[in-house]
Amino acid sequence: MVMLGTDMKVAETPKEGLKDYTKADPYEEWLEAEGVKVHEEFYFPSLAQIELGPWERKGGRGAVIHIANRHMPNDCHVVEIKPGGKSEPEHHMYELTIYVVSGRGATTIWQDEKDEKRKQSFEWSAGSLFSIPLNARYQNFNGSGDEPARYVAVTNAPPMMRLFRDNEFIFNCDFTFRGRYSGEEDYFSGKGKLFKRRIWESNFIANAPDMLLYGWKERGAGGINAMLEMADNNMKSHMSEFPIGTYKKAHRHGPGAHLVLLSGTGGFSLVWTKDDRSDMIKCDWQVGSMVIVPSDNCYHQHFNSGTTRARYLALRSGDMGVNSPRGGGGEFADRSMKEGGWQIEYEDEDREIHQIFEKELAANGATCRMKAFVRWCTGEVGPTSERDT
């Protein structure tokens, strides 16, 4: 040690040749142990076409979408249950929300492995959305003997595994969260309750593409929306829809929103991080496309350049309301940058954005309807609220 004065000390410079300190990542170790195929992309033109590998524990084949960003609050499991197949029973200390891409089937849920009489089952089909209560036991079944069933499940497994650093605890803890679920007969009935600010609380939505949505004037151009609360989760989801010939305002927030296109005949998202948009990427849509917000402070903007209304589902973490860029920032994502928020108003966006949109519309034989919001629009005045559409 080097002495400073009479009693102050400072450590010596580390010796050359010492190895850097590294710590195993329990989530990465779990992926390796599962032997599951992993994708690291943030844009998938079609969930139906994602390459899968063997994942028998899930009932057939599957893959994990995992963006290599330690701040990523979630991942996505793409699972295909073989015809007449079923998953192994499981339970775990992370949340997941399931959207059924194709096929039909059923899920059985129960709390205590000794309580066979309180098992509950509900049926689902393409377009269904539901969430498994935390650490409840469940098993998925394909209801068809001829066709596979495919779903996506967005989970918060990565941060939970990294928090506890013990996957034996993650998958074999016997604690039952009866405050979340205690076998209520109507838990998965599809009944729901509407609250202020477009919040819809329900544990099962039979057909998300057709669910009733509500006005969201802050996001612009007659868009409608519902914020979803399911299974008392910290993880959240929402659905947004916007009219023909319109687009939403650009905004940013923390990473992790998985956007799945539920309906529409055409459209795209623009994603960028740099102020000059030199890294901007265009992600074209079709029903079943998925775009993920991959990193902190990533701007994204969604456009309906098709000939029908477009709706997407956003499966995300629950930190959208934390008032920091990395935390999510739900309160800032629909507030103008001029007011300290993270949303770019129509009048402040670069003209190139609108030009890209009008070019796409022309290619699809559709008309721009943004004249009420964008003064250099060459189209017509369209909807200014959900009542106009």
| pLDDT score recorded for residue 319 | 59
Q: Does residue 187 contact residue 179 with C-beta atoms inside 8 Å?
A: no
Pick from 274, 296, 272, 273: nearest CA to 283: 272
Residue 174's Cβ-count burial label (10 Å; 0-12, 13-18, 19+) is exposed
How far does CA 207 lie from the centroid of its chain? 17
At 142-183, the pLDDT tens digits run 999 999 999 999 999 999 999 999 999 999 999 999 999 998
Judged against a pLDDT cut of 70, whether residue 327 lies above it is answered with no
Q: Which domains does the chain have, with CATH numbers?
A: 34-172 (2.60.120.10), 193-230+235-388 (2.60.120.10)
- What the block records as the tokens of 383 is 């909807």
Judged against a pLDDT cut of 60, whether residue 257 lies above it is answered with yes
Q: What is the mean pLDDT of residues 76-102?
A: 98
At 267-294, the pLDDT tens digits run 999 999 998 999 999 999 999 999 999 9
Q: Does residue 195 contact residue 57 with C-beta atoms inside 8 Å?
A: no
Q: What is the identity of the amino acid at 184?
A: E
CA pair distance 129, 318, nearest whole angstrom: 17
CA pair distance 56, 86, nearest whole angstrom: 9
| pLDDT score recorded for residue 387 | 47
Judged against a pLDDT cut of 90, whether residue 2 lies above it is answered with no
CA pair distance 54, 324, nearest whole angstrom: 39
Range from 62-71, 237-246, 378-387 carrying the lowest mean pLDDT: 378-387
| pLDDT score recorded for residue 384 | 78
| pLDDT score recorded for residue 21 | 80
At 333-364, the pLDDT tens digits run 778 889 888 899 999 999 999 999 999 999 99
Q: What is the identity of the amino acid at 310?
A: A
CA pair distance 307, 365, nearest whole angstrom: 8
